[in-house]
Structure 1
């Protein structure tokens, strides 16, 4: 019934002695009620891209509403490129699987960066703590199916792709993945966290727990992100690898240069300059449809499982560069997300010091990984395994 492309390899890892990973292309049949933005002509030049951002950031306006002309059901069969990993070469039933959703500017490798011998790999750390992982290229990006960047590749359809992958994992119908987890935790970064949030708001029974990294419900700083990116057509961006940029049609936008990437994702003096160059060379775009719908999530969420929110102390897109500047109301912007989860089994938040929006790209990344794993294990997920490497806080 389902076709798949499966690759297997064994990798030496920084925090586990070895990992077994499979590349699996998963076909999904999904549909969603998408916005029709015929009030906007798809940007086809860099000048158009700048005009689009100017409209999106204009004070006193709501360009999403201006461009929206209707709603329509979008349906299709799409391929989702995934990577499934298990610790120490052991693929077993009854464990906790983390489904990892990346944010804007990245693909699934955000979670398993090969840079510097995988020393920044979130996957390796999660495996060392007894979890299994499934990372994937979000619909429309990387090696997953692409589509119309305005009226097709939007938040609503991408959330349905995540939901369908989760269902298939739960019922054991993903080809090439031989284990059936007892529990599933969804972990997101930034826009991937927004999609994780939207997933459990619509389908609360699909997840046993969620981790939202680089996330808040404060949209005040979205214009900083949009303007700071200096968006250009991905196909014309010279700092994006030729192999990557040639995949994308007009309306797929990428940040302008390394300076823009540093502004969006990094905290100065707390990252390896070479990892900035790596991130810039391997960056992925965003669609205009995603930018128009990325704030389309409910303000409250009836999810009843445990929730953990972790932000870098100097996150720009969600904290304006200072996640503790809240005027005396609470402890941090991340802590404020608690108000959106009145029914959560438990809620906890954490601010990772000396870190920008791209938590996985900083010197102290593993310190944040430890906070996530500690929270999940306190909630009964996975089992404790012997650590082979100290973490940095």
Structure 2
């Protein structure tokens, strides 16, 4: 490993010592008011995976059937509710915005959280070793979901599949795309090769063993299962504190989940030059201008981010970048989330048109 690779590994390990959250146990299907239902409606789908059990997610679509779907993978700090936030959906729901733009979305629960109760197997998490849930295993499961979407085993066949991730979910997406080469584009959020270890280390107090934190205590979580505890500095680290709506923070706390520490060691490889250099489809990286956790000091503007990230990608990636002003790591939950939605929609229309 080169000295540059070693530095990148250290950066990811430090930040990855950050990423975890959302509500364990069965999460009921989300209910919508008439005025904020994605145009074509939503349904819960379960896709069997070879490692056992199902990966479960919320599939939403526009009124007119589309051949394009985005597969959404949240970070350690969230389950599928991150993409369809249950507070002020008109402002924060990525799935609602994409449906209105004509795209289908499938927001997945990573193994071990949301409706995917056990590490891929679907069993009670406390009865499963956390080592069963790694970023590589997550990527394999996402690959099988992509194949199911392409072959019509969900609702119908999709000809174009785009992966979208946040934080560790972006790492899983990088591992999937660089290994299986079966998607048409990638959206990476809360992700870069420029993580700042000292800043990441400051966030370590936000994370605690799931067995020590309500409502997860007493549910059988052994060593290796963690969750996010909302400390006094949480909002400053994960959002842009001066702008974040306190109700957003409260809702994020109400929907927090658990994660396996085993996702981190192989997840760190997603920020090394190798995996991203093997991606051969268009890539859009978006970041919050105030995201010191996932973006270090390279997110002053879109041009600076592009200059920092371009060396890690092949020309085939046609790399584009966008820095969202006054947003932190959880950029979809910034008050100006609609600006990010519009950037993604424009990129989708230009990159994977119907």
The bucket for the TM-score relative to the shorter chain is 0.7 to 0.9
Q: What does 1:1-393 correspond to in 2, within 5 Å?
A: 12-14=34-36, 18-29=39-50, 76-88=51-63, 90=64, 92=65, 95-147=67-119, 148=128, 150-173=130-153, 177-204=154-181, 206-219=182-195, 221-222=196-197, 224-230=199-205, 231-238=207-214, 242=215, 246=219, 248-297=221-270, 298-300=272-274, 301-320=277-296, 323-324=299-300, 331-333=303-305, 335-382=307-354
Per the normalisation by structure 1, the TM-score is 0.73
Shift of 1:178: 2.0
SS in 2 for 1:114: coil
Alpha carbons 1:112, 1:122 under 8 Å: kept: yes
Cα distance change of structure 1 residues 172 and 260 upon mapping to structure 2, 3 Å threshold = farther
Alpha carbons 2:210, 2:216 under 8 Å: kept: no
Give 5+ residue unaligned stretches, structure 2.
Answer: 1-27, 120-127
Alpha carbons 1:258, 1:280 under 8 Å: kept: no
Quick check: 130-139 or 282-291, which moved more?
Answer: 282-291
Quick check: which one's strand share is greater?
1
SS in 1 for 2:132: coil
Shift of 1:18: 3.4
Alpha carbons 1:97, 1:183 under 8 Å: kept: yes
The structure, 1 or 2, with the larger RCO (C-alpha pairs under 8 Å, 6+ apart) is 2
Cα distance change of structure 1 residues 290 and 264 upon mapping to structure 2, 3 Å threshold = farther
Task: Say which one has the larger Rg.
Answer: 1
Cα distance change of structure 1 residues 170 and 84 upon mapping to structure 2, 3 Å threshold = same
- Summarize deviations over 1:169-218 as a string: whole Å, max 9, x none: 11112xxx3221121111111111111111111112x1001111111012
Shift of 1:335: 4.3
Quick check: which one's helix share is greater?
2
Alpha carbons 1:99, 1:185 under 8 Å: kept: yes
Cα distance change of structure 1 residues 360 and 303 upon mapping to structure 2, 3 Å threshold = same
Quick check: 263-272 or 226-235, which moved more?
Answer: 226-235
Alpha carbons 1:190, 1:213 under 8 Å: kept: yes
**How many equivalent pairs are there?**
315
Alpha carbons 1:313, 1:321 under 8 Å: kept: no
Give 5+ residue unaligned stretches, structure 1.
Answer: 1-5, 30-75, 383-393
Quick check: 116-125 or 132-141, which moved more?
Answer: 116-125
Alpha carbons 1:102, 1:192 under 8 Å: kept: yes
- Summarize deviations over 1:38-76 as a string: whole Å, max 9, x none: xxxxxxxxxxxxxxxxxxxxxxxxxxxxxxxxxxxxxx3
Shift of 1:134: 0.6
Cα distance change of structure 1 residues 107 and 146 upon mapping to structure 2, 3 Å threshold = same
- Mapped partners of 2:87, 2:220: distance in 1: 23
RMSD between aligned residues: 2.6
Alpha carbons 2:91, 2:337 under 8 Å: kept: no
Alpha carbons 1:10, 1:21 under 8 Å: kept: no
Cα distance change of structure 1 residues 79 and 145 upon mapping to structure 2, 3 Å threshold = farther
SS in 1 for 2:323: strand
- Mapped partners of 2:202, 2:297: distance in 1: 15
